[in-house]
Amino acid sequence: MGDQVPVRCPVCRRTHTFAAPVYPCACGAPVAPPLVRGAPAEPITHRTWTEDWVTARCQACGRQDQWPQPELGCPCGTVLRIAVRPVTSRPRPPGPSTPSAPASPAGPTAPSAPSAPFRSPAAAEARGGRAGLPTHIPLPRTVPAPRPTFRPVTIRTAGDAVTTAALYLRWLGFEEIVQQKDWYASGLALRGPGLVAQVDPTTRPATLRAVECLWLNGLNEEALGVFFSLAGYASDARARADELGLPLFVMDLTGTPQPVNGPADALLSPGP
């Protein structure tokens, strides 16, 4: 968790305690945008791509990167933009105990998983198995193969949103996903064998009409329709998608889609 600062809503005058979100740097160290204590929060009435991002520096390796602008939703309905201290001074060189890591063009990555603990052959035999072999070997098809961890792509433009949706669908197992050239006009951003997908990169919740149009396109092509949205869905659109069995996903600016209804959960599940 990053710095905690008191934030007062200028509309309803409520005071909140806000903690800066923490993101993983390419070197694996946590990075949190430095908040300005005592600075007034600014209500958000209009969004732009440039205002939704701030620059922060990793204290471990000195790398500068862009992260989502910290925001706070007040119970009165106002969304507040939290002030962040700009990066002006030079980064300090990493010390001898903190080796620097090369910058990765693919954006932030999660730290590698720890290796399994070592067990001696004698310990394996004591647990009921022969040395060098596991105590239980699952039969074929009884355990689904686990998916690798999804590697998100930071979303800065509408094209990044479409790229993230394509990568996520491939991660789910759909092959030959192709981006449509006129996707913004037609609404269908991605196609694949038995699949059509719509991506809404705007800052307005997806509408009931958009959900029904995607379902009709899938019906005409005998394909599954999948919807991705940056700003979520209107309540009637989500209810209609549940009736139609249409998977809905919401994406944040860090590039990690999340399921928002039952059909999306079922699509994400690896199955029995």
How many helices (DSSP H) and strands (DSSP E) are in the chain?
Answer: 6, 15
The 10s digit of each residue's pLDDT in 197-225 is 999 988 889 999 999 989 988 888 889 99
The residue among 26 and 61 whose pLDDT is bigger is 61
230, pLDDT greater than 80: yes
- Provide the percentage of residues in the chain whose pLDDT is more than 90: 23
Report d(CA 168, CA 150) in Å as an integer: 7
pLDDT of residue 184: 58
The 10s digit of each residue's pLDDT in 17-29 is 888 788 778 787 8
| Domain segments of the chain as ranges | 4-81, 158-268
Report d(CA 48, CA 26) in Å as an integer: 26
In three-state secondary structure terms, 7 is strand
pLDDT band at 90 (very low <50, low <70, confident <90, very high): low
The residue among 237 and 78 whose pLDDT is bigger is 237
Contacts of 147 (CB under 8 A, 6+ apart): 171, 270
The 10s digit of each residue's pLDDT in 126-181 is 444 444 444 444 444 444 556 788 888 888 888 888 899 999 999 998 988 888 87
The 10s digit of each residue's pLDDT in 28-51 is 788 888 888 888 888 887 766 667
In three-state secondary structure terms, 24 is strand
10, pLDDT greater than 70: yes
- Contact criterion met (CB below 8 Å) for 78 and 71: no
Fold topology of 158-268 = Trna Endonuclease; Chain: A, domain 1 (3.40.1350)
pLDDT band at 260 (very low <50, low <70, confident <90, very high): very high
pLDDT of residue 136: 43
Average pLDDT rounded to a whole number, residues 90-112: 46
87, pLDDT greater than 90: no
